[in-house]
Amino acid sequence: MVTHENGGGHGHHQAPTGFIRKYVFSIDHKVIGIQYLCLALFSVFVGMALSALMRLHLGWPNAHWSIFKGGLMTPEQYLALMTMHGTIMVFMVLTTAPQSGFGNYFLPIQIGAADMAFPVLNMLSFWTTMVSLLVMIAAFFVAGGAPIGGWTSYPPLSALGEMAGPGQGAGETLWIIGLAIFCGASLMGALNFITTLIDLRAKGMTLGRLPLTCWTWFVTAILGLLAFGVLLAACILLLLDRVAGTSFFIPGGLVITDQVITWHKGGSPLLWQHLFWFFGHPEVYIAILPGMGVASHLLSTFSRKPVFGYRAMVGAICGIGFLGFCVWGHHMFISGMSPYSAFAFSILTMTIGVPSAIKTFNWLGTLWGGKITFNCAMLFALGFVSLFVSGGLSGLFLAQPALDLYLHDGYFVVAHFHLIMGVAAIFGMFAGLYFWFPKMFGRFLNEGIGKLHFWLTFIGVYAIFMPMHFLGLAGHPRRYFDTTAVEFLQKLQPVHVFISIAAFITIGAQLIFLFNFFYSLYAGKECKEENPWHATTLEWSIPTPPPFDNFAGVEPVVYHGPYEFSVPGAADDYIPQHLAPNLVKKA
């Protein structure tokens, strides 16, 4: 890995002039952050459109729609939609937007750096992510269509090629290649984030003065560095099984569509599950940790109170990150593992409840007695806390092997991971966007439209995912295409109709958001101040929008902790991190 750039130190940066260097192949972390956010915004609408089609089918399985050939969706199409919805949402939205998007833009500014440690590597990681997205999307357009194996792509079916289903041919190969490229991009990003945070903090920015957003981006980057390396190896092995004829994940004696597989033997599908979930579980925290950082940051700012238990929060972030690598087996309780292993994984999994509870109670402690402003950013941060609790509690059910035997591969699991990993993380992103939009674009998002967006989304996601818990408890398996063909599921059909209607209303609300985004970008209320929210961290000490080198070549000096709100004896109810002690006005 050769990197020949100057890095994010102060004073050796010159703004590029041409359009291509400025906006396309930019090495400015702010432009790259916005590029990542645009990629995620595009991906989230693609992923949402796919889910809309799935809900259309699940709500009214036998109705004819002219968008499908012959009026009806085929089971393979349904599985392809499900696979691509999961993959695009997990990798291109939940992994990129909170970390690579907001993190890229604000981590260097919040620690007082002029750029990331490796600006060229940063550009490379964005464009590699872009290639990965294009390769994955290409899977829709090859013979056989998109893969049908789900985002976990379990072998042996994912390893055997076309004979295992139409999308398992070229589409699956492209999917794996896309994922392997994504691993490379994420590794570059993770390495860059960690180096930047360790090396480029401004004078006085001790670890104890880092905003919690930076702590979460830092720990997320460490998780990415360790997890994506393993997924990369797993992808290479699966690709070898498919294109080179090896049998890493394929056991002997398989019969697929009446054909005995004689040319593969000796491998184990369980090996893939181990490798995949060793990545897959930390991936959950890669998606949610930055949201926790943003929530902590905003709850403090808009309650005008310091974060309750800052050190405990940092400990909880690190604890969640560490435990994330010890619990992959809870995805495999029904794989035939020894009950003793299941017991160990179960205890470790429930242990994650401890740091999660620390975080939750500290959020409530931060809010307690605060002067709370209910603007859109704060509403989404509060929504994050709500969804984190609702989604997290069902995790304690699934962590018990005895209960998981029943709930596994059912709608209860779908409800659980959508609430916590999907929607909570997205609420974290929305909170961050409403908060940072004025800094990034010099205009505010419209608060009125924003509140409409918030309430429709907040009620909408609960209306979608709460009933799914009960579908799961009633024994509804996930990934079923035709729910009317099974007798005991027929009575549950009205629930599917309700969920589908709720989903369409929620999707409609996101169009309201999209309108707000573009409307406010061009015609929103202008933000000329440096610090419209009276916040404390360094991004609010520089002009809006920030200049190319962030701090105009002058390295800032940090004198205060990140959340000094309502400090007794001070005139203002906030003390910015960069304010020299002799400049703090006394009451």
Partner 1 sequence: MHDVKTDAALDSAWSGGASPFAMGSKKLGMWLFIVSDTLTFSALLITYTYSRITNPDWPKPFPMNPAIIFSTTMTVVLLASSLTMVMAVMAAQRNDRKKTVLWMIATMAGGLTFMALHLREWFHLFEEGATITHNPWGTPLFGAVFFGVTGMHMTHVLIGVIYLGIVATGYGRGKFSAEDVEVNGLYWHFVDLVWMFVFPLVYLMSVKY
Residues that bind partner 1 (CB under 8 A): 1-3, 7, 111-112, 117-118, 121, 187, 190-192, 194-195, 198-209, 225-230, 232-234, 236-237, 240, 244-248, 263, 265-268, 271, 274-275, 278, 555, 558-561, 564, 567-570, 575, 581, 584
In angstroms, give the least distance from the CB of 130 to partner 1: 21
- Residues 370 and 324 sit within 8 Å (Cβ to Cβ): no
For partner 1, which is the closer residue by CB, 344 or 567?
Answer: 567
Give every CB contact of residue 205 below 8 A, 6+ residues apart in sequence. 111, 112, 558, 577
Q: How far is the CB of 539 from partner 1 (least distance, A)?
A: 16
Residue 73 beta carbon to partner 1: minimum distance, rounded to whole angstroms: 37
**Of 413 and 538, which has the nearer Cβ to partner 1?**
538
User: What is the rounded CA–CA span in Å between residue 456 and residue 385?
Assistant: 17
Report the interhelical angle of 212-243 vs 310-323 (nearest 10°): 10
Contacts of 393 (CB under 8 A, 6+ apart): none
Give helix 29-59 / helix 119-138 axis angle, nearest 10°. Answer: 20
Instruction: Yes or no: say if 396 and 350 are a contact pair by the CB < 8 Å rule.
Output: yes
Strand ranges, E, within 351-503 = none
Half-sphere exposure of 286 (CA within 13 A, CB side): 29
Cβ proximity to partner 1: between 285 and 363 the closer is 285
User: Nearer to partner 1 by C-beta: 217 or 417?
Assistant: 217
What is the C-alpha separation between 532 and 527, in angstroms, rounded? 7
Smallest distance from partner 1 to CB 71, Å:
45
Write the CA distances from 525 to 406, 432, 433, 514, integer angstroms. Answer: 53, 18, 15, 17
Is the CB of 29 or the CB of 209 nearer to partner 1? 209
Nearer to partner 1, 263 or 340 (CB): 263
Q: How far is the CB of 498 from partner 1 (least distance, A)?
A: 43
The whole-angstrom separation of Cα 313 and Cα 310 is 5
Residue 51 or 186: the one with the smaller Cβ distance to partner 1 is: 186
Angle between helices 424-441 and 493-523 (to 10 degrees): 10
Q: Tell me the closest approach of the beta carbon of residue 567 to partner 1, in angstroms.
A: 5
Beta strand spans in 420-481 (E): none
State the Cα–Cα distance between residues 67 and 72, nearest whole angstrom.
8
The token duo for 577 is 């991190």
- Least separation, in Å, of the C-beta of 528 and partner 1? 29
| Least distance to partner 1, CB of residue 586, Å | 9
Q: What is the DSSP string of 227-252?
A: HHHHHHHHHHHHHHHHHT---SS--T
Backbone dihedral angles phi then psi of residue 72, each to the nearest 5 degrees:
-120, 145
State in angstroms the smallest separation of the CB of 541 from partner 1: 15
We find the least distance from the C-beta atom of residue 219 to partner 1, in angstroms, to be: 14
Closer residue to partner 1 (CB): 19 or 263: 263
Q: What 8-state DSSP symbol labels residue 542? A: S
Distance CA 115, CA 8 (A): 4
Minimum distance of partner 1 from residue 557's CB (angstroms): 8
CB closer to partner 1, 278 vs 517:
278
Query: Exposure of 63 by Cβ count < 10 A (0-12 exposed, 13-18 middle, 19+ buried)?
Result: exposed
For partner 1, the closer of residues 227 and 471 by Cβ is: 227
Check if the beta carbon of residue 40 is closer than 8 Å to that of residue 97.
yes
Which parts of 219-331 are beta strand (E)?
255-256, 259-260
How far is the CA of 71 from the CAs of 67, 68, 166, 445, in angstroms? 7, 5, 20, 41
**133 or 194: CB nearest partner 1:** 194
Q: Residue 515 CB, nearest distance to partner 1 (Å)?
A: 41
CA dist., res. 240 & res. 234, Å (int) = 10
Spacing of C-alpha 495 from chain mean position? 28
Nearer to partner 1 by C-beta: 256 or 584?
584
